[in-house]
Chains A and B, each alone.
Chain A
């Protein structure tokens, strides 16, 4: 018997019981739909995050205090106060890091902003005026604070559009004073609406000179980050090397294993985040895979019923010359066809849901989300669906092929 005829025979077998076949594959459809949906959304989320990081500029280098985290659960809180004013001065020196284009210290934290009777939970960034350039943000009213403000620890603040809305409503904000940690800060600028940049939402932020933030708001003498821009993208590696050497020198570190800081480039960050989303996607896919096992057992169950119901047909086919192998192939192909069709439907549904989700995410949540249906997801969907058919179809198919033709013919 040729494969073509095994195939058409199986096709007729499946087609004879359309509504039952449809119900049988439901579990597979749901399983594959979830897998495709998860993989597609996972890829979309990854692309989104990577795009936002790239929004920070590919020449950007971040210096972070503390030991470099060695795994996802390593909190790296040791030496978290290791970046000091002295380090900033050292890094600024051209002799130490000749390819450094710009450097901006950063301190940040959350606190409540008060104006009149209104309060709002702010994200506070203490930095220099370079923050506008590095994060590509602009004011819609007023202006940024100046270098003079930084030097003089001026009590000035630039607020995000959401902050303005919450504290001042439609009223004027410029020149008004908001209270943070009992310190009155004069609003000198309001940021244009921007949404999420990298991990920060500047609409909900208050930007103040880092000197003011260190002294009056956070009460600390160290920095949470140095944001460095290399002069050219091609000089990143060299810049990183110079930064590390300078800081080790400043901190009297000879063994790089003992570093109390670490340097992260945008490429590093992208790679780390990809790992996180990959792990998350894998985890969710494994959860969805459980539904496939359930679906597979459903298939096996129905195939066993089908084999029993069609005992006489099996006996007849054997009497007419079908070999055990012919019967095995027929029933196995039926199972694979069912799961294959289930898989195909699941891929289409998963793709459709993911597309719908991308529309909602872009329209309603205003994210720069791009719909992607990774080829790997489709390939996995097809492979897993047929695999489930093969694994869960083999037992019923064997049962069918082993029936004695005489017993099968006598079966009522």
Chain B
């Protein structure tokens, strides 16, 4: 069973009785350990798709199975639990708590988890070191550069050791050098067994993935493997 199975997925927004179809029947599957990039022009529905994949929003039609289960198989609290334990999110706008320290930001998912409090600092520090920010652990998030902020966001996505990391244009607000650093970290995480879904509209960023799914007008325009590097099977989460 693949980790992600999307079949004929549709999504429309309803505002003032007007239906705005955004996704018009999307189908694909993503295996455990894959690193897939989703590309498409602005407004094509990439973020919409990612929100559905991340159980942050419900589809209008079609079916989406994560790890074999649909959103309807869970209660709202169980969905929160799945997001907490199995998924990690990285957003274009970083979404850190600006006044909290790096360490506090990274610990945030642990707050909502079942992980024992005695392990929190150790886990968070490990994640912070994994993105190369050990020396910044006690800085406030607002004191960091854009690239550093995004690495903190990755550490936060990582701290609960999720199966999959969703990254929505993580390099969109960064210069090419810090963008490249972020991509290297995502590469490394993929090699360590995390499945990664990356949204980007930059071709050179998408080249870091093994597979590129192009979306146009709410449909899959193309879906091709560009890179055969894969995580060794025994690592896969």
Contacts and interface: CB of A to CB of B under 8 A. Distances in A.
B76 A320 contact: no
B57 A319 contact: no
Given A5-B111, A321-B85, A316 B80 contact: no
Interface in A1-54: 1-2, 5, 9, 12, 16
Interface in B33-65: 47, 51, 54, 56-57
A5 B84 CA distance: 16
B106 to A, nearest CB: 11
Interface residues of A, number: 25
A318 B80 contact: yes
A268 B168 CA distance: 80
B16 interface: no
Interface in B56-103: 56-57, 76-77, 80-81, 83-85, 89, 91, 95, 97, 99-100
Interface of B: 47, 51, 54, 56-57, 76-77, 80-81, 83-85, 89, 91, 95, 97, 99-100, 108-109, 111-113, 117, 156, 160
Contacts of A322: 80, 111-112
A77 interface: no
Nearest to A9: B111
Given A320-B156, A321-B83, A323-B77, A405 B56 contact: yes
Which 8 residue pairs across A and B have the least CB separation, nearest first?
A321-B84, A321-B112, A406-B57, A323-B80, A406-B56, A320-B109, A406-B51, A405-B56
Contact of A321 (B91, B97, B113): B113
B169 to A, nearest CB: 13
B97 A320 contact: no
14 contacts: A16-B99, A316-B95, A317-B108, A317-B112, A320-B83, A321-B84, A321-B109, A321-B113, A322-B112, A323-B76, A324-B80, A325-B77, A405-B56, A406-B57
A324 to B, nearest CB: 6
A154 B178 CA distance: 112
Contact of B97 (A313, A318, A409): A313
Given A312-B95, A317-B108, 15 more contacts: A1-B111, A5-B111, A16-B99, A316-B95, A318-B80, A319-B54, A319-B56, A321-B85, A321-B109, A324-B77, A324-B80, A326-B80, A406-B51, A406-B57, A409-B91
